[in-house]
Amino acid sequence: MPKADIHPTWYPDAKVICNGEVVMTTGSTHPELHVDVWSGNHPFYTGTQKILDTEGRVDRFMRKYGMAGTDSAAGVKKDEAPADEAPAPADETSASVSG
């Protein structure tokens, strides 16, 4: 048999209040719960979360692991021709060997 008068009062319909509005009810040992953030206004749950890029860390990660774009991922510089293209033909006079 449980001891009497040792348990707190249980409120099965405790109100959860955020920004002055009742957002939901739940069971608690307090009749009202005042919160600043809940799942209805948290950026993670609402889909409005933004990545804060401090000191270019995201850009540095993308460059380091080759995810910045097609040019940097392939390792091709703007001044160089891609490796699969044939080099331009040389002059015929310089190509002949005098003997």
CATH code for position 60: 4.10.80
Whether 42 is in a domain gets the answer yes
Pair of tokens at residue 82: 């891609």
Closest to 28 (Cα-Cα) out of 16, 18, 14: 14
pLDDT classification of 92: cutoffs 50, 70, 90: low
Residue 38, domain extent:
11-67
Whole-model pTM: value is: 0.44
Whether 88 is in a domain gets the answer no
Query: Rounded distance, CA 18 to CA 36, Å?
Result: 6
Which comes out higher in pLDDT, residue 75 or 28?
A: 28
